[in-house]
Amino acid sequence: MATLNNFDANQVDPSVALDPLPAGKYLAVISESELKPTKTGGGKYLQLTFQIIDGEFKGRLVWARLNLENKSEMTVKIARGELSAICRAIGVMQPKDSVELHNVPLEINVGLKKRDDNGEFTNVIKGYAKKGGTPIGNAAGARTPAGGTPPWKR
């Protein structure tokens, strides 16, 4: 049993289920970061929380997980490439701590991916760009094609 400190549901709006963001480019900042162990314990990943800061979806969150320590060299290479793209997009080339990446606007290219466990769609970040600039790259290290108008500029 837990004390609820006189909670009154009449005084609080109920939470609602949120659908994934539509695929597109969004202006965001990294609002949180944390180094976490992988499920198997054989490595670590940097979890980054991106908060949309403009437009219809302002305040919504999207996450990226960068496997910076892993048995697979390719997994680490991909994660380091993604971290490099983020650093270039925000202009912090040699961060000593992930907090140095926080609160600097950048554009994120958000896509949709079908989850293996339940078949529902979830958001994935496919690339990063300087605020109002050209794309830097994507999670696979390839160039992200330019074009299209970001939702916050429509």
**Which structural domains are found in the chain, ordered by start?**
21-139 (2.40.50)
Token pair listed for 106: 């950048």
End-to-end CA distance of the chain: 50
Judge whether residue 21 has pLDDT over 90.
Answer: yes
What CA–CA distance (Å, rounded) separates 125 from 120? 17
pLDDT at residue 134 in the model = 67
pLDDT tens readout for residues 107-137: 999 999 999 999 999 999 999 999 987 666 5
Stretch 39-49: mean pLDDT, rounded? 94
- What percentage of the chain carries pLDDT values higher than 90? 76
Token pair listed for 83: 């971290």
For 10-25, give one letter per residue: b (16+ CB within 10 A) or e: eeeeeeeeeebbeebb
Contact 152, 54 (CB under 8 A): yes
Stretch 24-53: mean pLDDT, rounded? 96
Contact 143, 67 (CB under 8 A): no
80 φ/ψ angles, rounded to the nearest 5 degrees: -65, -35
Integer angstrom CA distances of residue 91 from 25, 57, 101, 106, 148 = 19, 25, 9, 10, 23
